[in-house]
A and B are shown apart, each in its own frame.
Chain A
Amino acid sequence: MGFTLVVIIRWQLAYPGSPVPYIGSLFGTANAPGGIVLPEFYNQLGAMHGTIMVFLGVVPLAVGAFGNYLIPLQIGAPDMAFPRLNLASYWFYLAGGTVMLASFFVPGGAANNGWTSYPPLSDLAPGTGQTWWLVGMAFLINSSLLGALNFITTVVQLRAPGMTWFRLPFFVWAQFITAFLLLLAFPPLEGAAILQGMDRLAGTSFFLPSGLAVSGRPLGVAGGGSALLWQHLFWFLAHPEVYVLILPAMGIVAEIVTNNTRKPLWGYRVMVYSLFALGFLSFIVWAHHMFLTGMGTAVSAFFQTTTMIVSIPSVVILSSLILSLHGGSIRFTTPMLFALAFIPMFGIGGLTGLPLGLATTDIPLHDTAYVVGHFHYLVAPGTIFALFAGIYHWFPRLTGRMMNDTLGRIHFAGSLVCMNVIFMPMFVQGLAGVNRRLWDGGAEYAHAQGVLSLNVPMSIAAFALAFFQLFFIVNLFASLKAGRQAAANPWSATTLEWQAATSSLRVYRNPYEYSVPGASADFLPQHLPADA
């Protein structure tokens, strides 16, 4: 769904003002008369693509699905601590998702103020789409909060005997820290959403300053509020949110890398400490999204410094993953391909964060396509690749069948090439000064003319990317029905989720005891007694 929206966006950017082929007539005359996307609709697509991808796509999949499924299995717990809470979390998610998607069909359409929903624009947006967005967000935040509580309790309380903290698989650590981020970062946005809802429905002015005049007429509101306040509240959530998207991905990649190199994770403890550092620091970098709102030297120096510091634990984790490959015996399985590609792709995303995190170099780059390229490298060939890796890796655990390798490899190669063709030119466009969120992709501006032609290959790559996902979808459903039968532990893994569940599960060793000198097999599962 989120991806469909962006395919329409990419059509509009490559061919502004041309009718969208085939599906253009489905959008209705209010959005796209004759199949031509109107700015109103374009802005809805932009805002909802971001919202859906983050809050309905990646978070539920990375945290909700992978976390709920794997945490109890990996720590040897019978189930999550609070099954009913889990169900409530799911129903909140369903309600939030339904509200979000239904908002496309209300008069005026869905929210169209960017996923950041900056007031006064969002406060004053006509129609009810923005209000639906706020209600949907409130549901989704509650869903995440309940899930986070459940994760924390489960990890603290329900570890199997012998599963000490430093015997936890890295994936569990990543989910554990993520749960704290969700718990601490989401409530401010829920509060902010309620305040914005009050502004929209009850005539308050939390985010509306005095003296506003819209369309040449003074606005009849009390005023006295602060538009900047929303930005602080929003980014106080949304920066930790970035790590909510990233940490589970790192967890998945670490599991798959160590399994497919047949050796322990290099620097496991330091990586865990780095997770703690990331979790803590992610709360004190939020204003690097706001350098250009009028920040003095002292405040900007603080946020630039914290931003540079937060890059260090990411560097530690990423370089540990690379160094982990050294000395391994690398199996290039389909999940491993995705996990390996994650490393340089995430690296590009991380490195391009540097010039954005420094206030001075943020001046030319802020709100340009460079930013869009930066965070897409983190979440698309970064996080989403990790999720694909996870699906290919744990599919046999879930279904008892293997996914098809050939289809998986086609899916991998096609996705890798297409994603780079889509996102790499964004850096070129951004450096040339092309802003984001432009209905015509910047065609209005002289400085954009030299790089506009890049939009055509980028968009073609986006359509091709959609095509290559068919291989995945077909693979998923065909393997479910007719995939090769999987052995109980098809990857010869050490962690508990691959071992037959017994009530007397006990843990005897560290999570990744691969290629232990003198052992008979190249892996020693966590639950086997010493030298059994």
Chain B
Amino acid sequence: MLQWLGLPAAASAHAGDVDRTLALVHWLMLVLFAGWGLFFLYVLVRFHRRAHPVASYHGLRGRWSTWLEGGVLAAEIALLAFFSIPVWSARVDAFPPERGSTVVRVVAEQFAWNVHYPGPDGRFGRTDISLLGPANPLGLDRTDPAARDDVTTINQLHLPVDRPVIVYLSSKDMVHSFTLPQMRVKQDVVPGVAQPVWFTPTRTGAWEIACSQLCGLGHYRMRGFYTIETQAAYDAWLAEEAAELAQ
């Protein structure tokens, strides 16, 4: 079923859970549709006026429709209790500790993703709305000691593989939606609401960040890039960015 659904490549630890649930739901849909569909076609032929000139006043007898509806309900409850709720709960409640994770801020704006790394000190520098400018889309206060080593990029998110990632999302203007299709990550970014999301990449690769909420005229081209790479490659990239910053 999974190949058949044609989802984007799965490259995160929880992607399997999401995909398995999706495949199960589609199995249920297929069985129900095929079952109803066959019965539907059968009655259309069997009870065509020419085949069955006099209708039965009582119609179908028996209680099996109740069983059918009970079965649908049971299947839905099983999907909820054993798949959807536990997987969701792991997404939103079981955040990994920041120590041991890659922590990064992503600030959405029309029509770009600003990426903010805390640098070696692990602390994000202060940001202030009054410092916003073309060269400083985050409004980062470089005089703050915690900000000195912070690395920022636009539309370029690099992350190491096999290590949990926590992304602190926020938006400067509109509702955006931070989407990493291959990570099975999609999170609305509502202005005024700080919004963390986490995942663990399990495969290296270079893919695209998409925006999934209509955010204005350039919504269709609010595309970023993300790269999942080995720890060594990631460290090298970060060092390169830091060196550029020092110049």
A residues near B (Cβ < 8 Å) are 39-40, 43, 113-114, 118-121, 124, 209-219, 225-228, 261-264, 266-267, 290, 292-297, 300-301, 304-305, 308, 311-312, 315-316, 318-320, 322-332, 340, 343-344, 347-348, 351-352, 354-355, 358-361, 363-368, 428, 431-433, 435, 437-440, 442, 444-447, 450-451, 514-517, 522
Contact = CB atoms under 8 A, between A and B. Distances in A.
B233 interface: no
A445 B190 contact: no
B143 interface: no
A448 B125 CA distance: 37
Contact of A328 (B5, B47, B179, B213): B47
Contacts of A267: 65
A148 to B, nearest CB: 30
Given A312-B73, A366-B177, 5 more contacts: A120-B175, A209-B191, A228-B190, A367-B186, A439-B217
A490 B79 CA distance: 48
B148 interface: no
A267 B26 CA distance: 29
Given A121-B214, A218-B129, A325-B47, A263 B40 contact: no
A108 B65 CA distance: 55
Given A216-B134, A311-B76, A355 B54 contact: no
B24 to A, nearest CB: 9
B108 to A, nearest CB: 12
Contact of A296 (B8, B57, B92): B92
28 contacts: A39-B218, A118-B213, A121-B175, A210-B192, A218-B132, A219-B173, A227-B193, A228-B193, A263-B55, A292-B188, A297-B85, A301-B85, A304-B80, A304-B88, A308-B73, A308-B76, A311-B72, A315-B72, A319-B36, A326-B43, A330-B52, A340-B44, A344-B37, A344-B40, A347-B32, A440-B221, A444-B221, A444-B223
Interface stretch (B115-123, B204-212, B237-245): B204-212
B55 A262 contact: yes
Contacts of A444: 220-221, 223
Given A213-B172, A444-B221, A319 B69 contact: yes
Interface in B14-37: 17-18, 21-22, 25-26, 28-29, 32-33, 36-37
Nearest to B221: A444
Contacts of A329: 47, 49, 52-55
Contacts of B185: 363
A358 B79 contact: yes
Interface of B: 5-8, 17-18, 21-22, 25-26, 28-29, 32-33, 36-37, 39-40, 43-44, 47-49, 52-60, 65, 68-69, 72-73, 76-77, 79-80, 83-85, 87-89, 91-93, 109-110, 129-130, 132-134, 137, 139, 172-175, 177, 179, 181, 184-188, 190-193, 195, 207-208, 210-221, 223
B208 A447 contact: yes
Given A118-B214, A297-B85, A297-B89, A216 B32 contact: no
B28 A435 contact: no
A439 B216 CA distance: 11
A226 B193 CA distance: 9
B191 A216 contact: no
A118 B85 CA distance: 27
B55 A327 contact: yes
